[in-house]
Amino acid sequence: MILFLDFDGVLHPDAVYLKKGRPVLHGAGELFQWAPHLSSALASHPNVAIVLSTSWARVLGFDRARGALPELLRQRVIGATWHSKMGRSVFGGFRLPECWWDQVSRYQQIAGYVRRAQLTEWVAIDDHGEAWADEHADNLVWTNPDKGISDPLALATLHKRLTRS
């Protein structure tokens, strides 16, 4: 089973900004404050691997994004929906700062990965549920950006998604 994991609005409030190249949470709390909830939920599911579906992988790079996670989650990470090769768009001999990945919804990013990897068992935790296809609605745990995975309803939904297979 693959778990697509967003960070902002899932593992901490969706109020993170870069300051001198480092993510900083504006407001109450701290980065990854809700990560223990996810670690606990995954404890009884050792077969679940994580694919990062967060903009952190695009902005900071895969290694820094993965490295920011607490160890129990970090050790499950096997990849990301973003790869640096995706940013090599060239037009007229110039490298463009944006690519298709920046222009599509989170669902489309994940759906592309699912298609390429031919996944059949997967779930995504994200606070961006817009543009999510009806055919994959049961694959989404849609979080409130102010509560993330600390919300009991989100945790119950995650448990349901992980135990259905």
Q: How many domains does the chain have?
A: 1
With cut-offs at 50, 70 and 90, classify the pLDDT of residue 130. Answer: confident
CATH for 59: 3.40.50
The answer, yes or no, to whether residue 74 has pLDDT greater than 90, is: yes
- The residues, ordered by sequence, that sit 6+ positions from 26 with a Cβ below 8 Å of its Cβ are 15, 16, 17
Q: What's the chain's average pLDDT?
A: 88
The answer, yes or no, to whether residue 164 has pLDDT greater than 70, is: yes
Beta bridge partners of 2: 49, 122
The reported pLDDT for the residue numbered 87 is 52
The whole model's pTM is what?
0.88
Residue 41: which domain range?
2-163
Mean pLDDT, residues 44-52: 97
The reported pLDDT for the residue numbered 90 is 47
